[in-house]
Protein backbone atom coordinates (compact mmCIF):
# COMPACT_ATOMS: atom_id res chain seq x y z
CA UNK A 1 0.00 0.00 0.00
CA UNK A 2 1.32 3.42 -0.93
CA UNK A 3 1.36 6.06 1.81
CA UNK A 4 -1.27 8.05 -0.07
CA UNK A 5 -3.64 5.09 -0.03
CA UNK A 6 -3.49 4.78 3.73
CA UNK A 7 -6.88 5.50 5.20
CA UNK A 8 -8.71 5.14 1.90
CA UNK A 9 -11.73 2.87 2.22
CA UNK A 10 -11.12 0.82 -0.91
CA UNK A 11 -14.42 -1.09 -0.84
CA UNK A 12 -16.55 2.05 -0.52
CA UNK A 13 -14.51 3.82 -3.17
CA UNK A 14 -14.94 1.01 -5.67
CA UNK A 15 -18.65 0.77 -4.87
CA UNK A 16 -18.98 4.50 -5.51
CA UNK A 17 -17.21 4.07 -8.86
CA UNK A 18 -19.34 1.05 -9.86
CA UNK A 19 -22.60 2.76 -8.93
CA UNK A 20 -21.83 5.88 -10.98
CA UNK A 21 -20.66 3.74 -13.90
CA UNK A 22 -23.93 1.80 -13.87
CA UNK A 23 -25.93 5.04 -13.79
CA UNK A 24 -24.14 6.44 -16.82
CA UNK A 25 -24.16 3.25 -18.86
CA UNK A 26 -27.61 3.56 -20.50
CA UNK A 27 -27.40 7.29 -21.30
CA UNK A 28 -26.96 7.86 -25.02
CA UNK A 29 -26.39 4.22 -25.89
CA UNK A 30 -27.71 3.23 -29.32
CA UNK A 31 -29.38 -0.19 -28.98
CA UNK A 32 -28.70 -1.13 -32.60
CA UNK A 33 -24.91 -0.77 -32.33
CA UNK A 34 -24.21 -0.76 -28.61
CA UNK A 35 -22.18 2.40 -29.23
CA UNK A 36 -22.67 5.81 -27.64
CA UNK A 37 -24.04 8.91 -29.35
CA UNK A 38 -23.40 11.57 -26.80
CA UNK A 39 -23.03 14.69 -28.89
CA UNK A 40 -22.68 18.24 -27.60
CA UNK A 41 -25.79 20.26 -26.83
CA UNK A 42 -28.25 17.48 -27.61
CA UNK A 43 -30.92 15.97 -25.37
CA UNK A 44 -28.47 13.22 -24.39
CA UNK A 45 -25.83 15.80 -23.57
CA UNK A 46 -28.38 17.61 -21.44
CA UNK A 47 -29.06 14.39 -19.51
CA UNK A 48 -25.30 13.90 -18.94
CA UNK A 49 -24.92 17.50 -17.75
CA UNK A 50 -27.81 17.00 -15.33
CA UNK A 51 -26.21 13.80 -14.08
CA UNK A 52 -22.90 15.59 -13.44
CA UNK A 53 -24.68 18.49 -11.73
CA UNK A 54 -26.53 16.00 -9.50
CA UNK A 55 -23.22 14.31 -8.56
CA UNK A 56 -21.79 17.70 -7.57
CA UNK A 57 -24.92 18.58 -5.60
CA UNK A 58 -24.86 15.23 -3.78
CA UNK A 59 -21.28 16.00 -2.66
CA UNK A 60 -21.95 19.62 -1.76
CA UNK A 61 -19.60 20.87 -4.47
CA UNK A 62 -20.09 24.37 -5.92
CA UNK A 63 -21.03 23.88 -9.56
CA UNK A 64 -19.64 26.58 -11.85
CA UNK A 65 -20.11 26.73 -15.61
CA UNK A 66 -17.55 28.66 -17.59
CA UNK A 67 -18.10 30.59 -20.81
CA UNK A 68 -17.91 27.47 -22.97
CA UNK A 69 -20.31 25.48 -20.81
CA UNK A 70 -17.66 23.27 -19.18
CA UNK A 71 -18.87 22.17 -15.74
CA UNK A 72 -16.60 22.54 -12.70
CA UNK A 73 -17.55 21.17 -9.28
CA UNK A 74 -15.45 22.78 -6.56
CA UNK A 75 -14.67 21.69 -3.03
CA UNK A 76 -13.21 24.84 -1.52
CA UNK A 77 -12.99 28.33 -3.03
CA UNK A 78 -10.68 28.42 -6.07
CA UNK A 79 -10.88 32.21 -6.20
CA UNK A 80 -8.71 32.42 -3.09
CA UNK A 81 -6.13 29.79 -4.16
CA UNK A 82 -5.93 27.92 -7.46
CA UNK A 83 -6.93 24.30 -6.97
CA UNK A 84 -6.17 20.78 -8.13
CA UNK A 85 -8.59 19.72 -10.84
CA UNK A 86 -9.30 16.18 -12.03
CA UNK A 87 -11.83 15.07 -14.65
CA UNK A 88 -12.37 14.59 -18.36
CA UNK A 89 -15.41 14.66 -20.67
CA UNK A 90 -18.74 12.85 -21.06
CA UNK A 91 -19.44 13.30 -24.79
CA UNK A 92 -18.58 10.69 -27.43
CA UNK A 93 -17.79 10.22 -31.09
CA UNK A 94 -20.62 8.69 -33.18
CA UNK A 95 -21.04 5.12 -31.86
CA UNK A 96 -18.16 5.59 -29.45
CA UNK A 97 -17.12 3.39 -26.56
CA UNK A 98 -18.14 3.69 -22.93
CA UNK A 99 -14.73 4.63 -21.50
CA UNK A 100 -13.32 7.49 -23.56
CA UNK A 101 -14.12 10.46 -21.33
CA UNK A 102 -16.56 9.05 -18.75
CA UNK A 103 -13.82 6.91 -17.17
CA UNK A 104 -12.00 10.13 -16.25
CA UNK A 105 -15.07 11.90 -14.89
CA UNK A 106 -16.34 8.94 -12.85
CA UNK A 107 -12.82 8.16 -11.55
CA UNK A 108 -12.43 11.80 -10.52
CA UNK A 109 -15.67 11.78 -8.53
CA UNK A 110 -14.73 8.44 -6.93
CA UNK A 111 -11.24 9.77 -6.08
CA UNK A 112 -12.80 12.81 -4.46
CA UNK A 113 -15.03 10.50 -2.39
CA UNK A 114 -11.98 8.45 -1.38
CA UNK A 115 -10.05 11.56 -0.43
CA UNK A 116 -12.85 12.80 1.78
CA UNK A 117 -13.56 9.41 3.32
CA UNK A 118 -9.88 9.21 4.28
CA UNK A 119 -10.23 12.51 6.10
CA UNK A 120 -7.68 14.29 3.94
CA UNK A 121 -7.70 18.02 4.58
CA UNK A 122 -6.65 19.73 1.36
CA UNK A 123 -4.43 22.78 1.53
CA UNK A 124 -5.92 23.96 -1.78
CA UNK A 125 -9.38 23.57 -3.34
CA UNK A 126 -10.12 20.37 -5.26
CA UNK A 127 -12.23 20.49 -8.42
CA UNK A 128 -13.84 17.94 -10.70
CA UNK A 129 -14.40 19.02 -14.30
CA UNK A 130 -16.57 17.72 -17.10
CA UNK A 131 -15.48 19.32 -20.36
CA UNK A 132 -18.11 19.90 -23.03
CA UNK A 133 -17.80 18.83 -26.68
CA UNK A 134 -14.38 17.19 -26.42
CA UNK A 135 -14.82 14.91 -29.40
CA UNK A 136 -16.06 17.57 -31.81
CA UNK A 137 -18.45 14.94 -33.16
CA UNK A 138 -21.19 17.46 -33.91
CA UNK A 139 -19.40 20.67 -34.94
CA UNK A 140 -16.12 19.25 -36.21
CA UNK A 141 -13.65 20.84 -33.78
CA UNK A 142 -12.21 18.55 -31.12
CA UNK A 143 -11.74 19.88 -27.58
CA UNK A 144 -14.12 22.74 -28.37
CA UNK A 145 -14.89 23.38 -24.69
CA UNK A 146 -11.27 23.83 -23.66
CA UNK A 147 -10.31 25.59 -26.91
CA UNK A 148 -13.07 28.18 -26.41
CA UNK A 149 -12.07 29.12 -22.85
CA UNK A 150 -8.37 29.33 -23.73
CA UNK A 151 -9.13 31.35 -26.88
CA UNK A 152 -7.56 28.67 -29.11
CA UNK A 153 -10.95 28.54 -30.84
CA UNK A 154 -12.23 32.06 -31.51
CA UNK A 155 -15.74 32.70 -30.16
CA UNK A 156 -17.08 33.98 -33.51
CA UNK A 157 -15.75 30.93 -35.32
CA UNK A 158 -17.20 28.61 -32.67
CA UNK A 159 -20.65 30.21 -32.87
CA UNK A 160 -20.64 29.87 -36.67
CA UNK A 161 -19.64 26.18 -36.76
CA UNK A 162 -22.46 24.03 -38.11
CA UNK A 163 -23.46 20.41 -37.58
CA UNK A 164 -24.53 17.93 -40.27
CA UNK A 165 -28.04 19.42 -40.33
CA UNK A 166 -26.77 22.97 -40.79
CA UNK A 167 -27.50 23.94 -37.18
CA UNK A 168 -24.90 26.39 -35.90
CA UNK A 169 -23.32 26.10 -32.47
CA UNK A 170 -24.97 29.43 -31.63
CA UNK A 171 -28.38 27.98 -32.53
CA UNK A 172 -27.63 24.75 -30.63
CA UNK A 173 -26.85 26.90 -27.59
CA UNK A 174 -30.14 28.78 -27.96
CA UNK A 175 -32.05 25.49 -28.26
CA UNK A 176 -30.29 24.32 -25.09
CA UNK A 177 -31.57 27.46 -23.34
CA UNK A 178 -28.20 29.24 -23.36
CA UNK A 179 -27.16 32.66 -24.64
CA UNK A 180 -24.47 32.19 -27.31
CA UNK A 181 -23.28 35.79 -26.85
CA UNK A 182 -21.75 34.71 -23.53
CA UNK A 183 -19.56 32.09 -25.25
CA UNK A 184 -15.87 33.01 -25.26
CA UNK A 185 -12.48 32.97 -23.52
CA UNK A 186 -12.61 32.59 -19.76
CA UNK A 187 -9.37 33.48 -17.99
CA UNK A 188 -11.19 33.51 -14.67
CA UNK A 189 -12.08 29.82 -15.01
CA UNK A 190 -8.50 28.98 -16.04
CA UNK A 191 -6.91 31.01 -13.21
CA UNK A 192 -8.64 28.70 -10.74
CA UNK A 193 -6.70 25.69 -12.01
CA UNK A 194 -3.35 25.19 -10.28
CA UNK A 195 -2.91 21.65 -11.63
CA UNK A 196 -5.06 19.58 -13.96
CA UNK A 197 -4.78 15.80 -14.19
CA UNK A 198 -6.97 13.96 -16.70
CA UNK A 199 -7.36 10.21 -16.35
CA UNK A 200 -8.27 8.54 -19.65
CA UNK A 201 -8.61 5.08 -21.12
CA UNK A 202 -5.55 4.27 -23.22
CA UNK A 203 -6.34 4.49 -26.92
CA UNK A 204 -3.73 1.98 -27.98
CA UNK A 205 -2.18 -1.24 -26.72
CA UNK A 206 1.08 -0.04 -25.19
CA UNK A 207 0.04 -1.05 -21.66
CA UNK A 208 -1.62 -4.30 -22.75
CA UNK A 209 1.53 -5.54 -24.47
CA UNK A 210 4.18 -6.84 -22.10
CA UNK A 211 7.85 -5.88 -22.65
CA UNK A 212 8.41 -9.36 -24.18
CA UNK A 213 5.78 -8.62 -26.84
CA UNK A 214 2.96 -10.85 -25.50
CA UNK A 215 -0.34 -9.71 -24.04
CA UNK A 216 -0.18 -8.83 -20.39
CA UNK A 217 -3.51 -7.92 -18.90
CA UNK A 218 -2.87 -8.81 -15.28
CA UNK A 219 0.39 -7.09 -14.30
CA UNK A 220 -0.84 -4.41 -11.85
CA UNK A 221 2.19 -2.22 -12.56
CA UNK A 222 1.00 -1.89 -16.16
CA UNK A 223 -2.62 -0.97 -15.29
CA UNK A 224 -1.91 2.78 -15.34
CA UNK A 225 0.57 4.93 -17.26
CA UNK A 226 1.66 8.55 -16.94
CA UNK A 227 1.26 10.69 -20.07
CA UNK A 228 4.33 12.52 -21.31
CA UNK A 229 3.24 14.21 -24.52
CA UNK A 230 0.59 14.38 -27.23
CA UNK A 231 1.60 13.98 -30.85
CA UNK A 232 1.03 16.88 -33.25
CA UNK A 233 -2.30 16.41 -34.99
CA UNK A 234 -4.74 18.19 -37.26
CA UNK A 235 -7.88 18.04 -39.38
CA UNK A 236 -8.22 19.17 -42.96
CA UNK A 237 -11.27 19.62 -45.18
CA UNK A 238 -10.87 18.65 -48.82
CA UNK A 239 -13.52 19.87 -51.29
CA UNK A 240 -13.60 17.97 -54.57
CA UNK A 241 -15.63 19.42 -57.45
CA UNK A 242 -17.60 17.40 -60.03
CA UNK A 243 -20.67 17.64 -62.19
CA UNK A 244 -23.97 15.92 -61.40
CA UNK A 245 -25.43 13.79 -64.15
CA UNK A 246 -27.38 10.62 -64.81
CA UNK A 247 -25.58 7.41 -63.86
CA UNK A 248 -27.17 5.53 -66.75
CA UNK A 249 -27.13 7.92 -69.68
CA UNK A 250 -23.80 9.76 -69.26
CA UNK A 251 -20.94 8.19 -71.22
CA UNK A 252 -17.86 7.41 -69.14
CA UNK A 253 -15.82 9.79 -71.29
CA UNK A 254 -18.19 12.67 -70.57
CA UNK A 255 -18.14 12.40 -66.80
CA UNK A 256 -16.70 14.76 -64.23
CA UNK A 257 -17.02 12.53 -61.17
CA UNK A 258 -16.01 14.06 -57.84
CA UNK A 259 -15.74 10.58 -56.31
CA UNK A 260 -12.66 9.73 -58.40
CA UNK A 261 -10.70 12.46 -56.66
CA UNK A 262 -11.83 11.06 -53.34
CA UNK A 263 -10.44 7.65 -54.24
CA UNK A 264 -7.04 9.25 -54.84
CA UNK A 265 -7.26 11.22 -51.61
CA UNK A 266 -7.98 8.07 -49.59
CA UNK A 267 -5.23 6.04 -51.27
CA UNK A 268 -2.62 8.78 -51.09
CA UNK A 269 -3.41 9.53 -47.44
CA UNK A 270 -2.52 5.94 -46.64
CA UNK A 271 0.57 5.66 -48.80
CA UNK A 272 2.14 8.98 -47.75
CA UNK A 273 1.39 8.30 -44.08
CA UNK A 274 3.09 4.91 -44.32
CA UNK A 275 6.05 6.35 -46.23
CA UNK A 276 6.53 9.20 -43.76
CA UNK A 277 5.94 7.25 -40.56
CA UNK A 278 2.75 8.92 -39.40
CA UNK A 279 -0.96 8.08 -39.44
CA UNK A 280 -3.69 9.55 -41.67
CA UNK A 281 -7.38 8.79 -41.91
CA UNK A 282 -10.29 9.80 -44.11
CA UNK A 283 -13.12 8.94 -41.74
CA UNK A 284 -15.86 11.25 -42.91
CA UNK A 285 -17.15 12.14 -46.36
CA UNK A 286 -20.11 14.09 -47.61
CA UNK A 287 -21.32 13.28 -51.13
CA UNK A 288 -23.62 15.57 -53.15
CA UNK A 289 -26.24 14.79 -54.36
CA UNK A 290 -25.75 11.43 -52.66
CA UNK A 291 -27.94 9.32 -54.93
CA UNK A 292 -27.08 5.79 -56.04
CA UNK A 293 -27.95 6.70 -59.66
CA UNK A 294 -26.34 10.15 -59.72
CA UNK A 295 -22.75 11.06 -60.57
CA UNK A 296 -21.40 13.02 -57.57
CA UNK A 297 -21.18 16.77 -58.21
CA UNK A 298 -19.25 17.46 -55.04
CA UNK A 299 -17.45 15.44 -52.39
CA UNK A 300 -16.15 16.81 -49.13
CA UNK A 301 -13.68 14.63 -47.29
CA UNK A 302 -12.10 15.21 -43.91
CA UNK A 303 -8.51 14.15 -43.37
CA UNK A 304 -7.13 13.51 -39.88
CA UNK A 305 -3.34 13.25 -39.68
CA UNK A 306 -0.98 12.77 -36.72
CA UNK A 307 2.47 11.53 -35.92
CA UNK A 308 5.43 11.79 -33.64
CA UNK A 309 7.14 14.38 -35.86
CA UNK A 310 5.43 17.57 -37.03
CA UNK A 311 7.44 17.75 -40.28
CA UNK A 312 6.30 14.26 -41.24
CA UNK A 313 2.63 15.04 -40.64
CA UNK A 314 2.91 18.31 -42.56
CA UNK A 315 4.69 16.62 -45.45
CA UNK A 316 2.05 13.88 -45.68
CA UNK A 317 -0.82 16.36 -45.69
CA UNK A 318 0.92 18.57 -48.27
CA UNK A 319 1.41 15.56 -50.53
CA UNK A 320 -2.26 14.52 -50.22
CA UNK A 321 -3.35 18.10 -50.92
CA UNK A 322 -1.19 18.14 -54.03
CA UNK A 323 -2.71 14.87 -55.29
CA UNK A 324 -6.19 16.23 -54.56
CA UNK A 325 -5.29 19.44 -56.36
CA UNK A 326 -4.95 17.49 -59.61
CA UNK A 327 -8.73 16.97 -59.34
CA UNK A 328 -9.36 20.66 -58.71
CA UNK A 329 -9.77 20.12 -54.98
CA UNK A 330 -9.20 22.77 -52.35
CA UNK A 331 -7.70 21.64 -49.05
CA UNK A 332 -8.33 23.80 -45.98
CA UNK A 333 -6.87 23.33 -42.52
CA UNK A 334 -9.64 23.14 -39.89
CA UNK A 335 -7.42 22.65 -36.89
CA UNK A 336 -3.78 22.06 -36.05
CA UNK A 337 -2.22 21.28 -32.69
CA UNK A 338 1.58 21.12 -32.45
CA UNK A 339 3.34 18.66 -30.17
CA UNK A 340 2.12 19.10 -26.62
CA UNK A 341 4.60 18.25 -23.90
CA UNK A 342 3.02 17.91 -20.49
CA UNK A 343 4.45 20.00 -17.69
CA UNK A 344 7.75 18.27 -16.94
CA UNK A 345 7.66 19.18 -13.25
CA UNK A 346 4.21 17.66 -12.93
CA UNK A 347 5.20 14.53 -14.90
CA UNK A 348 8.15 14.07 -12.54
CA UNK A 349 5.89 14.52 -9.56
CA UNK A 350 3.35 11.99 -10.89
CA UNK A 351 6.23 9.58 -11.40
CA UNK A 352 7.26 10.10 -7.78
CA UNK A 353 3.71 9.32 -6.63
CA UNK A 354 3.29 6.33 -9.00
CA UNK A 355 6.84 5.00 -9.35
CA UNK A 356 5.76 1.78 -11.10
CA UNK A 357 3.70 3.48 -13.80
CA UNK A 358 5.22 3.45 -17.31
CA UNK A 359 5.58 6.75 -19.20
CA UNK A 360 3.55 7.03 -22.39
CA UNK A 361 3.12 9.45 -25.30
CA UNK A 362 -0.18 9.45 -27.20
CA UNK A 363 -1.56 10.13 -30.66
CA UNK A 364 -4.91 11.33 -29.34
CA UNK A 365 -5.76 14.93 -28.47
CA UNK A 366 -7.17 15.78 -25.04
CA UNK A 367 -8.43 18.78 -23.08
CA UNK A 368 -5.36 18.32 -20.84
CA UNK A 369 -3.25 19.08 -23.92
CA UNK A 370 -5.17 22.26 -24.70
CA UNK A 371 -4.77 23.46 -21.10
CA UNK A 372 -1.06 22.52 -21.11
CA UNK A 373 -0.51 24.56 -24.27
CA UNK A 374 -2.19 27.48 -22.54
CA UNK A 375 0.33 27.22 -19.70
CA UNK A 376 -1.82 25.42 -17.12
CA UNK A 377 0.35 22.71 -15.47
CA UNK A 378 -1.42 19.61 -16.76
CA UNK A 379 -0.81 15.90 -16.91
CA UNK A 380 -2.55 12.64 -17.76
CA UNK A 381 -2.96 9.10 -16.53
CA UNK A 382 -3.88 6.30 -18.93
CA UNK A 383 -5.72 3.12 -17.97
CA UNK A 384 -4.89 -0.12 -19.78
CA UNK A 385 -7.18 -1.01 -22.69
CA UNK A 386 -6.99 -4.77 -23.49
CA UNK A 387 -8.19 -4.39 -27.08
CA UNK A 388 -6.34 -1.16 -27.76
CA UNK A 389 -9.50 -0.15 -29.65
CA UNK A 390 -11.00 3.28 -29.09
CA UNK A 391 -13.78 5.38 -30.65
CA UNK A 392 -15.72 2.13 -31.06
CA UNK A 393 -18.04 0.04 -28.89
CA UNK A 394 -15.16 -2.48 -28.56
CA UNK A 395 -13.19 -0.01 -26.43
CA UNK A 396 -12.69 -1.55 -23.01
CA UNK A 397 -10.97 -1.61 -19.66
CA UNK A 398 -11.33 -4.28 -16.99
CA UNK A 399 -13.10 -3.46 -13.74
CA UNK A 400 -9.88 -4.21 -11.86
CA UNK A 401 -7.91 -1.76 -14.03
CA UNK A 402 -10.59 0.93 -13.64
CA UNK A 403 -10.24 0.49 -9.89
CA UNK A 404 -6.45 0.72 -10.19
CA UNK A 405 -7.02 3.97 -12.05
CA UNK A 406 -9.20 5.36 -9.28
CA UNK A 407 -6.56 4.49 -6.69
CA UNK A 408 -3.80 6.06 -8.78
CA UNK A 409 -5.85 9.22 -9.23
CA UNK A 410 -6.65 9.29 -5.51
CA UNK A 411 -2.94 9.07 -4.70
CA UNK A 412 -2.21 11.86 -7.18
CA UNK A 413 -4.89 14.26 -6.01
CA UNK A 414 -4.05 13.56 -2.36
CA UNK A 415 -0.42 14.47 -2.97
CA UNK A 416 -1.17 17.53 -5.11
CA UNK A 417 -3.74 19.01 -2.74
CA UNK A 418 -1.78 18.45 0.47
CA UNK A 419 1.90 18.76 -0.45
CA UNK A 420 2.79 22.15 -1.83
CA UNK A 421 5.35 22.55 -4.60
CA UNK A 422 8.88 22.50 -3.29
CA UNK A 423 9.87 24.33 -6.43
CA UNK A 424 7.85 25.80 -9.27
CA UNK A 425 6.87 23.24 -11.89
CA UNK A 426 8.36 23.73 -15.33
CA UNK A 427 5.69 25.56 -17.32
CA UNK A 428 5.17 24.81 -20.94
CA UNK A 429 3.15 27.86 -22.06
ZN1 LIG B 1 -11.42 11.40 -24.66
pLDDT band for position 423 (50/70/90)?
very low
Per residue in 155-169, pLDDT (tens digit) is 999 999 999 999 999
- Runs of H (alpha helix) within 178-309: 187-191, 258-276
How far apart are the CA of 119 and the centre of ligand 1, in A? 31
Spatial CB neighbours of 165, under 8 Å, sequence gap ≥ 6: none
Are 408 and 355 in contact, with CB atoms under 8 Å apart? no
Ligand 1 centroid distance, CA of 90 (Å): 8
Determine the distance separating the centroid of ligand 1 and the alpha carbon of 232, expressed in angstroms. 16
User: What is the chain's length?
Assistant: 429
Q: Where are the alpha helices (DSSP H) in 35-92?
A: 43-58
Q: Give the helix/strand (H/E) hosting 320.
A: helix 310-325
Q: What separation in Å is there between the alpha carbon of 104 and the centre of ligand 1?
A: 9
Q: Using 50, 70 and 90 to split pLDDT, how confident is the model at 188? A: very high
Mean pLDDT over 93-109 rounds to 97
* Most distant CA pair in the chain, distance: 78
Q: What is the 199 CA–ligand 1 centroid distance (Å)?
A: 9
Cα 202 to averaged position of ligand 1 atoms, centre (Å) = 9
Percent of all residues in the chain with a pLDDT value above 90, rounded to a whole number: 87
Residue pLDDT, tens place only, 16-71: 999 999 999 999 999 999 999 999 999 999 999 999 999 999 999 999 999 999 99
Whether the predicted pLDDT of 216 surpasses 90 = no
Distance of CA 357 to the CA centre of its chain: 21
Nearest-angstrom CA–CA distance, 312 and 47: 42
Q: Rounded to 10 degrees, what is the CA torsion of 252, 257, 259, 265?
A: 100
Q: How far is the CA of 254 from the centre of ligand 1 (A)?
A: 46
CA-to-CA distance for 264 and 270, rounded, in angstroms? 10
Q: What count of Cα atoms within 13 Å lies in the side-chain half-sphere of residue 106?
A: 26
pTM assigned to the model: 0.83
- How many Å lie between the centroid of ligand 1 and the Cα of residue 98? 10
How far apart CA 384 and CA 310 sit, in angstroms, is 27
Cα–Cα distances in angstroms (integers) from residue 114 to residues 111, 165, 199, 380, in the given order: 5, 44, 16, 19
Amino acid sequence: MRPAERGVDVTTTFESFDRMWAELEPIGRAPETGGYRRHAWTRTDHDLREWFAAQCAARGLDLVEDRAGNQWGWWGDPDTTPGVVIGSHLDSVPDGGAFDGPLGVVSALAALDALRAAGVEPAVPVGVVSFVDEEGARFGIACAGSRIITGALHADRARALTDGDGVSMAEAWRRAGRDPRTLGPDEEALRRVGHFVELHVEQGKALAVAPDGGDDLTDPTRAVAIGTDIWPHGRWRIDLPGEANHAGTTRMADRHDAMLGLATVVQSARSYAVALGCVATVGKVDVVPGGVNAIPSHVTAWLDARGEREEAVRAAVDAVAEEAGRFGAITAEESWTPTTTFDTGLVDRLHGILPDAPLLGTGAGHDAGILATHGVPSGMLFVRNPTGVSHSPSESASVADCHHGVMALTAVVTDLCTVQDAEPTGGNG
